[in-house]
C-alpha cells in the first residue's frame, strides 16, 4: 500500500512539474513570437491587401496574442491600423488591389465613414477593390459598397434596413427593488438622465434623436448611391422592405450586389483581376502587416506631429468601471501628464487630439481643458473627432485651434447633470435596515443612505450643476469665439452630427484624422515631419489579465442576478462616477 501511494504521489508530482514547465515554455515561446512579430514583413510582388471586417471596429488595434485560439484565428484591427494600411497600399506598386471579406462589422457611423473614405481615396490609384461575404451587416455593406465588384454567397444575406435608436428605461425596474434616481440637470435636451427618470423618450429627446439619425442616414444614402449608381429613393424603398429577408436574386436585380458566387468563384475572379493562371495561388497581406511595412521613401525627421488618442469615458482617476461596464477610459490625471510631456518635447511641433468620447466627469473635463489651453499656448492643437465627441468629449475639444469632425460624428451635447440614487426604500423597507441619527449641524447627515435628499440639499446640488453649466458654456464661448448667449442657444444638452455642427459653428471643417494632421503641420509651419501616436498601448499581458478578470466577474454577476443584472450594473457604476457629469446618453443605441 505504501509503495502504491508512493508511486501515485510521485506520478502526480511529475505531472504537476511537467505542467509548470510546459506553461513556462509556452509563455517564453509566445513572448518570442510577439517579439519576432514586431519585425517588418516584406511585401511580395502581386499582393492583395485582405481586410477582414468581422467584428467591432475600434479606434486602435488591441493586441491579443491569443486571438488565434479565441477568435477563429483572426482579430479585426483598429481603424488606425486599417486606414494606415490602405494609404500604404495605395502607393505601393506591389499591392494590386484590396479584398474585403466577412463584412459583419459594428462601430459608430463616423468610424465606419472614415474607413469608407480611405477606400474611396484608394480607388484613385486605379487599383481594384473586391468585396465578398456570406452575410453583409448594414454597416458592412455601407463600407463594401465602395468596391468595384460586390459579391454575395447565393444563400447569403444582405441587411439594409435604415437606422433606429431604441433606448432602454430603468425607472420601473429600479422601483421594483426600491431605488429612485435623484436628478439635477441643465439643458432641455440633456437626455442622459432619462433612462432613470422616464419610461419613454421626452419630446425634446425624440426631436434631437430624429434629427441626428436623419442626418446620418442621408450621408449613408448619398455615399452608397454614388458608389452603386442607385438613387437614394430606391435605396430607401429597399430599406423599407428589409432586404435581409429577400431572395439573393432580388439583391442582384436591385443593383445592391453584382454577382452571386461561392468562395471558389471569388478566388477565380481575384485571379482574373491579378492576371494569374488558374494553377497560380493568390498572395495576401493583412492590414497589420501592411501598416508595419517599411515605406521606401520613409525618412526619420526630427520634427514630429503627435496624435494623442483620447478614447472612452472621462474620469479623474482610473477606476476600471464605466457607465457602460468595463471599457476604455480617458483618465484625467494621466492625460494631463501626457499632454504636459508633449508640451515640453521640443521635437513635437503640433498635437492632434483624437477624441472619441461621450464624456464623463465634468471635473476631469475641466482639468483636461486647462492642460489643452497650456499646450495650445506653446504649439498648435487640432482636434480630430471620431465616432463621438460629445458633452465632456466636446468640453476637452472646445479650446483647440481647429476642430475637424466627420459628417456623422455625434458632438455637442453641451450640458451638465448630476445623479444620486436614493436607495432608502430598498435599505429600510425591503431589506429592513433601520437608522438613527445624532448631528451637530443642519446638513451633517447629507448623503445618508437612510433617506432621500431634502429640498435644501436638492437646491444646493442644482446650484452646483448650474455653475458647472455656466463654466462649460463659458469655455465653449472662449474657444469658439462666440458670445455666451449664442453658445447657450445651441447648447441645452442637444446632440448634433458633425455636419450640423459645422453649420452652427461648433466645428471648423469636415474631415478625417489625416486631414487634421495636415492642418496641424500647416499651423506649425513644418513641411517634413513624422506622425507619432500617443499614449503607448498597454502591454498585451496586462490587457489579457484585465479581460479575464472582468469577464469572469461579469459572468458570475449576470448569472446570480438574472433580470436584475442590468439595473444593478448601472447602480454599481454610478458610485465610481463623479456626482457632476458632462456626458451624452449612456448608449445612443444606433442600429
Instruction: Please list the active-site residues.
Output: 190, 391
| Alpha carbons 199 and 167: distance in angstroms, whole number | 10
Q: Of 351, 366, 390, 356, which Cα lies nearest the Cα of 316? A: 366
Lookup: cell for 194: 432619462
- 388 forms bridges with which residues in the sheet? 410
Q: How do 416-422 and 580-583 pair as beta strands?
A: antiparallel
Burial zone of 39 (CB within 10 Å; 0-12 exposed, 13-18 middle, 19+ buried): exposed
Q: Are the beta carbons of 364 and 319 closer than 8 angstroms?
A: no
| Alpha carbons 26 and 585: distance in angstroms, whole number | 44
Burial zone of 171 (CB within 10 Å; 0-12 exposed, 13-18 middle, 19+ buried): middle
| Alpha carbons 81 and 63: distance in angstroms, whole number | 12
- 130 forms bridges with which residues in the sheet? 99, 149
Q: Are the beta carbons of 402 and 372 closer than 8 angstroms?
A: no
* Sheet containing 580-583, strands listed edge to edge, beginning at the edge strand earlier in sequence: 180-186, 416-422, 580-583, 359-361, 313-315, 329-331
- 331 forms bridges with which residues in the sheet? 315
Helix (H) or strand (E) holding 152: strand 149-158
Helix (H) or strand (E) holding 429: none
| Alpha carbons 53 and 50: distance in angstroms, whole number | 10
Helical pair 565-574 and 540-561, crossing angle rounded to 10 deg = 130
- Sign of the alpha-carbon torsion through 137, 139, 143, 145: positive
Lookup: cell for 76: 479585426
Amino acid at each position: 500500500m505504501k509503495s502504491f501511494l508512493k508511486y501515485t504521489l510521485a506520478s502526480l508530482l511529475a505531472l504537476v512539474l511537467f505542467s509548470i514547465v510546459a506553461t513556462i515554455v509556452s509563455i517564453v515561446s509566445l513572448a518570442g513570437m510577439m517579439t519576432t512579430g514586431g519585425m517588418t514583413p516584406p511585401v511580395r510582388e502581386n499582393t492583395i491587401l485582405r481586410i477582414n471586417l468581422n467584428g467591432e471596429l475600434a479606434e486602435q488595434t488591441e493586441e491579443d496574442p491569443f486571438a488565434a485560439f479565441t477568435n477563429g484565428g483572426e482579430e479585426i484591427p483598429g481603424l488606425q491600423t486599417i486606414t494606415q494600411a490602405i494609404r500604404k497600399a495605395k502607393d505601393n506598386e506591389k499591392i494590386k488591389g484590396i479584398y474585403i471579406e466577412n463584412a459583419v462589422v459594428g462601430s459608430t457611423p463616423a468610424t465606419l465613414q472614415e474607413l469608407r473614405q480611405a477606400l474611396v481615396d484608394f480607388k484613385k490609384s486605379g487599383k481594384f477593390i473586391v468585396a465578398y461575404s456570406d452575410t453583409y451587416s448594414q454597416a458592412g455593406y455601407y463600407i463594401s459598397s465602395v468596391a468595384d465588384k460586390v459579391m454575395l454567397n447565393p444563400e447569403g444575406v444582405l441587411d439594409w434596413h435604415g437606422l433606429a435608436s431604441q433606448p432602454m428605461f430603468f425607472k420601473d425596474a429600479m422601483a421594483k427593488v426600491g431605488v429612485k434616481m435623484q436628478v439635477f440637470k441643465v439643458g432641455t435636451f440633456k437626455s442622459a438622465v432619462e433612462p432613470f427618470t422616464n419610461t419613454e423618450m421626452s419630446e425634446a429627446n425624440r426631436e434631437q434623436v430624429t434629427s441626428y439619425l436623419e442626418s446620418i442616414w442621408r450621408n449613408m444614402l448619398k455615399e452608397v448611391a454614388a458608389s452603386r449608381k442607385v438613387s437614394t429613393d430606391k435605396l430607401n424603398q429597399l430599406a423599407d422592405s428589409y432586404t435581409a429577408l429577400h431572395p439573393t436574386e432580388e439583391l442582384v436585380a436591385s443593383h445592391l450586389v453584382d454577382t452571386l458566387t461561392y468562395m471558389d468563384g471569388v478566388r477565380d475572379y481575384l485571379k482574373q483581376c491579378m492576371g494569374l493562371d488558374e494553377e497560380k495561388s493568390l498572395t495576401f497581406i493583412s492590414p497589420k502587416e501592411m501598416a508595419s511595412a517599411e515605406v521606401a521613401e520613409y525618412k526619420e525627421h526630427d520634427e514630429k506631429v503627435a496624435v494623442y488618442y483620447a478614447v472612452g469615458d472621462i474620469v479623474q482617476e482610473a477606476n476600471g468601471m464605466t457607465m457602460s461596464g468595463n471599457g476604455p477610459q480617458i483618465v484625467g490625471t494621466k492625460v494631463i501628464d501626457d499632454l504636459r510631456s508633449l508640451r515640453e518635447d521640443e521635437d513635437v511641433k503640433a498635437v492632434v487630439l483624437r477624441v472619441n468620447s461621450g464624456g464623463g466627469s465634468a471635473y476631469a473635463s475641466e482639468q483636461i481643458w486647462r492642460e489643452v489651453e497650456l499646450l495650445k499656448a506653446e504649439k498648435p492643437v487640432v482636434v480630430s473627432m471620431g465616432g463621438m465627441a460629445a458633452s465632456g468629449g466636446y468640453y476637452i475639444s472646445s479650446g483647440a485651434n481647429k476642430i475637424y469632425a466627420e459628417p456623422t460624428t455625434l458632438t455637442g451635447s453641451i450640458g451638465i447633470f448630476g445623479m444620486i440614487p436614493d436607495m432608502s426604500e430598498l435599505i429600510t423597507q425591503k431589506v429592513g435596515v433601520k437608522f438613527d441619527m445624532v448631528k451637530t449641524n443642519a446638513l451633517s447627515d447629507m448623503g445618508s443612505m437612510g433617506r432621500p435628499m431634502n429640498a435644501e440639499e436638492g437646491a444646493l446640488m442644482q446650484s452646483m450643476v448650474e455653475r458647472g453649466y455656466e463654466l462649460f458654456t463659458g469655455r465653449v464661448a472662449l474657444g469658439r469665439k462666440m458670445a455666451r448667449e449664442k453658445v447657450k442657444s445651441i447648447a441645452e444638452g442637444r446632440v448634433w452630427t458633425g455636419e450640423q455642427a459645422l453649420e452652427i459653428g461648433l466645428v471648423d471643417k469636415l474631415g478625417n484624422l489625416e486631414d487634421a494632421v495636415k492642418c496641424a503641420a500647416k499651423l506649425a509651419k513644418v513641411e517634413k515631419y513624422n506622425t507619432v501616436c500617443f499614449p503607448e498601448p498597454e502591454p498585451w499581458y496586462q490587457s489579457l489579465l484585465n479581460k479575464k478578470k472582468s469577464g469572469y466577474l461579469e459572468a458570475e454577476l449576470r448569472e446570480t442576478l438574472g433580470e436584475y443584472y442590468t439595473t444593478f450594473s448601472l447602480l454599481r457604476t454610478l458610485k465610481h462616477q463623479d456626482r457632476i457629469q458632462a456626458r451624452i446618453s449612456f448608449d445612443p443605441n444606433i442600429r
